[in-house]
Amino acid sequence: MRWPTREMWNIIEVESNAGTHKMITKLLKVSFVIVAVGFLFAPYGLAMPNDDDFSVLSRLGYFAPAPLELELSSDGKTLYNAGFPVVYVAHPDSSHEPVRIPAPFYLLTAPESATATFSITYVPNGGTDLWGEPCYTFPSEGQTPFNAAASIWGNIIQSAVPITIRACWADLGSSSILGYSGGGPLRRDFSSAPRPLTWYSGSLTNALAGSDLDPSYFDMHITYNLNFSWYYGTDGLTPAGQYDLMSVVLHEIAHGLNFSGSMSYSAGSGSWGYGTGYPNIYDTFMRDGSGNQLIDTGVYPNPSTAIGTALTSNNIWFHGSNAMAANGGVRVKMYAPSTWAGGSSYSHLDYTTFNDTENELMVYAFSSGESVHDPGPVTEGLLKDLGWHKKVDFDFDGDRKSDILWQYATDGTVAIWLMNGVAIASGGSPGVVSDPNWEIKGVGDFDGDRKSDILWQYATDGSVAIWLMNGVAIASGGSPGVVSDLDWEIMN
């Protein structure tokens, strides 16, 4: 069986949504796929289970594209058109009280310190997105919040490879879909892949490998619905009745960073692995309420109604250590409503638990008048569990707020202000380094505990030393070695 075709989808959509969508000819879709896939490799069509996600969505008045037909590279290690489309919907409850969460100040004030960059291609008027949806001119004023959202991510994650996004401004009708994303290639068993036989998003693959393994493909495809009243400001002061585009871009980019997995659902049965037998890295952290991994085939055969039941149990949890640490030490509840909602279920944080909290960005729905410009610690922890290296910027106590490091010139006293906005929450001195030959060469997170550490070097003999910090205290310290040839300089 194959995925529902675009034409099937449109018929369903016309029935449910007053026929606001134009039919796309199969020829257009096929020709686009041919162009996208190219001829650098011999693609193999994969037999995939059928899926009724999107007819369910249509009955709810949602609009989302059908998943594309998957294509496997000849070496079997790249899966094209693979990221399932995930949707972000306008909150159906108009009485919902909007919240405003600003970006951490150091993200917006230090764009020059970005540790990842994004390359955004706006599909011109007359083009189509990956799913064949016609695109209109992306409003120029919408590109400012798009860049601002990318800049926030660029100051959180680390990648030496620019992350590429193809963005479409589409007429998705009067549905409640703010936008959808997906479709990027997935890769497995590349050099430095942390987990074997596991699919990773293109963006994460490139970041882990340190080079662009497939520069002819976009890492993310994101489409926005032009029918909403969008707010293009970046100040978070979204007027009532408008939707903050910057927040929605921030949300969709997170999906493109691998905040989604391979679980699918059809007529009560759940399955994973895109028909390949290999999980997405996101899937590997998911457990049921009893702690069983959903990909443990000893408990959950693949496919099975047992998986389907679990996916609709309101009892699915993410068990990554970093996400849990950011969640008060407890497992992270995921969105798993009793009726499967394709594009929403499984690929978002639980709504009841996380809406109206600092972790609201990755719940499935977003309200008018809101602004959420900080991904929140749970989402950042989740991405770190998936394999993303996070930037920690002069944050000695790990509260995700930058602190200030001082040194007194004449006697070498080191001091730290632990900051909370413009206020000094607390402060102290880890020690006095009276020998002026010891110089602070940098600040970084050497032990991965989300707290910045201090890197020293002795000027005359090249000894290197590190203080592993915990707030203003030195948790431990040591020397990785001596680099006596002083032509070797530590780069920052």
The residue at minimum Cβ distance from Zn ion is: 88
Instruction: State the minimum distance, in angstroms, from the CB of residue 252 to Zn ion.
Output: 7
- Count of residues engaged in binding Zn ion, rule: CB under 5 A: 2
**How many CB atoms within 10 Å of residue 44?**
11
Residue closer to Zn ion (CB basis): 364 or 467: 364
Instruction: State the minimum distance, in angstroms, from the CB of residue 374 to Zn ion.
Output: 16
- Classify residue 106 by burial, with Cβ atoms within 10 Å: 0-12, 13-18, 19+: middle
Residue closer to Zn ion (CB basis): 86 or 472: 86
User: Could you give the CA distance from residue 75 to residue 78 in angstroms, rounded to a whole number?
Assistant: 8
Residue closer to Zn ion (CB basis): 254 or 468: 254
Residue closer to Zn ion (CB basis): 89 or 161: 89
User: Could you give the CA distance from residue 273 to residue 264 in angstroms, rounded to a whole number?
Assistant: 9
**How many CB atoms within 10 Å of residue 29?**
19
User: Could you give the CA distance from residue 200 to residue 84 in angstroms, rounded to a whole number?
Assistant: 13
199 binding Zn ion? (CB under 5 A)? no
User: Could you give the CA distance from residue 358 to residue 143 in angstroms, rounded to a whole number?
Assistant: 25
Instruction: State the minimum distance, in angstroms, from the CB of residue 437 to Zn ion.
Output: 53
Confirm if 372 and 357 have CB atoms less than 8 A apart: no
Instruction: State the minimum distance, in angstroms, from the CB of residue 241 to Zn ion.
Output: 22
Task: Write each residue from 75 to 104 as x if it is in contact with Zn ion (CB under 5 A), else as -, in one continuous string.
Answer: -----------x-x----------------
118 binding Zn ion? (CB under 5 A)? no
Residue closer to Zn ion (CB basis): 202 or 303: 202
Instruction: State the minimum distance, in angstroms, from the CB of residue 335 to Zn ion.
Output: 9
Instruction: State the minimum distance, in angstroms, from the CB of residue 314 to Zn ion.
Output: 18
Instruction: State the minimum distance, in angstroms, from the CB of residue 247 to Zn ion.
Output: 11
HSE-CB at 465 with a 13 A cutoff on CA atoms is 17
Angle of the 245-256 helix axis to the 143-154 helix axis, nearest 10 = 50
Instruction: State the minimum distance, in angstroms, from the CB of residue 89 to Zn ion.
Output: 8
Instruction: State the minimum distance, in angstroms, from the CB of residue 214 to Zn ion.
Output: 24
Residue closer to Zn ion (CB basis): 32 or 259: 259
Three-state SS across 38-102? CCCCCCEECCCCCCCHHHHHHHCCCCCCCCCCCEECCCCCEEECCCCCEEEEECCCCCCCCCEEC
Q: Which residues contact 116 (CB under 8 A, 6 or more apart)?
A: 153, 154, 157, 158, 159, 162, 163, 207
Q: Tokens 């008018």 belong to which residue?
A: 368
Task: Write each residue from 42 to 81 as x if it is in contact with Zn ion (CB under 5 A), else as -, in one continuous string.
Answer: ----------------------------------------
Instruction: State the minimum distance, in angstroms, from the CB of residue 88 to Zn ion.
Output: 4
Residue closer to Zn ion (CB basis): 86 or 418: 86
Instruction: State the minimum distance, in angstroms, from the CB of residue 404 to Zn ion.
Output: 36
Residue closer to Zn ion (CB basis): 88 or 446: 88
Residue closer to Zn ion (CB basis): 260 or 276: 260
Residue closer to Zn ion (CB basis): 88 or 346: 88
Residue closer to Zn ion (CB basis): 88 or 231: 88
User: Could you give the CA distance from residue 304 to residue 282 in angstroms, rounded to a whole number?
Assistant: 19
**How many CB atoms within 10 Å of residue 90?**
18
CA distances from 426 to 151, 182, 418 (A): 29, 44, 5
Mark 480-489 as b/e (b = at least 16 C-beta within 10 Å). Answer: eeebeeeeee
> Residue 455 in 3-state DSSP?
strand
HSE-CB at 385 with a 13 A cutoff on CA atoms is 25
Instruction: State the minimum distance, in angstroms, from the CB of residue 35 to Zn ion.
Output: 27
**How many CB atoms within 10 Å of residue 423?**
7
335 binding Zn ion? (CB under 5 A)? no
Instruction: State the minimum distance, in angstroms, from the CB of residue 366 to Zn ion.
Output: 9
**How many CB atoms within 10 Å of residue 46?**
16
Residue closer to Zn ion (CB basis): 86 or 103: 86
Residue closer to Zn ion (CB basis): 233 or 342: 342
CA distances from 245 to 106, 373, 442 (A): 21, 10, 36
> Residue 180 in 3-state DSSP?
strand
Q: Tokens 């109604």 belong to which residue?
A: 305
Residues near Zn ion (CB under 5 A)? 86, 88
